Amino acid sequence: MDELSQYVARQLSGCFPDRSIAAHSIAAHVAAAMERVEYCFSRVVIKGFAPGGDPSFNHLHTDQYAMFLYLLSNSVFRTGGDPSLAAKAYGLNKALHGIDAFYEVELPPVFFFQHPVGTVLGRAVYGNYFAVYQRCSIGSNLDGEAPVLGDGLVMFGGSGIIGRCRTGNNVCLSVDAIVMDADIPADSVVFGRPPAIVRRPSRRRVTERFFRVS
């Protein structure tokens, strides 16, 4: 834990050289983030996250490190820590991995990033067991209305959910599918984009490809 705190502190200081950050000043936040990492990773079935059921974290595994940096920035925000530290951890994640997951956004306890370059996770109510790929977008519409997402949402590359939307549990958005100001029932697969959106029922629990779901 001390080595990880030192590593992160050096990265933050190098990326944002307005002032040097000491490892001891972020150690408690790193520990809080790693506690959340342990809980989350223990429920991810993708290779490298929990071999044999035991959570494993590798700072050189970029998807894992992107998830860690989000949790670090959010943990700083949750505990009322230094806002500049939360902003820097968020900015470092954006610089290293090309993902925009703002520290005020509350992702669920169990989630998974798969090479999330170009993904923007904005304001929404996120359900548990959330998996997202590259170039995905979630956010509010021009009226400030944000999505409410059910458990077990999987977003494949280029998909998006924008505005006044509600999704049921066990919903999968196929490649480049877009949902805008529309509701999606549970156990559905979504194709296309407005006005030619297509919803098909599905009995397959896609989340089980990614998570140990109780």
pLDDT for 117-151, tens place per residue? 999 999 999 999 999 999 999 999 999 999 999 99
Is residue 199 in some structural domain? yes
* Tokens matching residue 212: 């140990």
Residues in the chain: 214
Total number of domains in the chain: 2
173 CB neighbour count, 10 Å cutoff? 26
Is residue 103 in some structural domain? no
170 and 186 Cβ atoms separated by less than 8 Å: yes
Is residue 78 in some structural domain? yes
State the amino acid at position 134 in one-letter form: Q
CATH, residue 158: 2.160.10.10
Residue pLDDT, tens place only, 150-202: 999 999 999 999 999 999 999 999 999 999 999 999 999 999 999 899 999 98
CA separation, residue 47 to residues 131, 163, 207 (Å): 15, 34, 15
124 in the same domain as 175: yes
Measured in degrees and rounded to the nearest 5, phi and psi for residue 82 equal -60, 115
| Last residue of one domain, picked from the residues 97, 124, 148 | 97
85 in the same domain as 61: yes
80 in the same domain as 32: yes
- In the DSSP assignment, the letter for residue 196 is S
1 and 30 Cβ atoms separated by less than 8 Å: yes
Measured in degrees and rounded to the nearest 5, phi and psi for residue 51 equal -60, 130
Is residue 212 in some structural domain? no
* CA-angle at 148, arms to 170 and 42, nearest 5°: 50
Cα 122 to Cα 132: distance, rounded to the nearest angstrom: 13
156 in the same domain as 87: no
| Last residue of one domain, picked from the residues 97, 131, 162 | 97
Name the one residue in this structure whose structure tokens are 């999330």.
116
- What residue numbers bound the domain in which 177 lies? 111-203
Residue pLDDT, tens place only, 23-78: 999 999 999 999 999 999 999 999 999 988 899 999 999 999 999 999 999 999 99
CA contacts within 13 A on the Cβ side of 175 = 0
Is residue 150 in some structural domain? yes
84 in the same domain as 37: yes
Is residue 32 in some structural domain? yes
| Last residue of one domain, picked from the residues 65, 97, 129 | 97
**pLDDT score at 53:** 82
122 and 103 Cβ atoms separated by less than 8 Å: no
Is residue 210 in some structural domain? no
pTM value > 0.85: yes
151 in the same domain as 115: yes
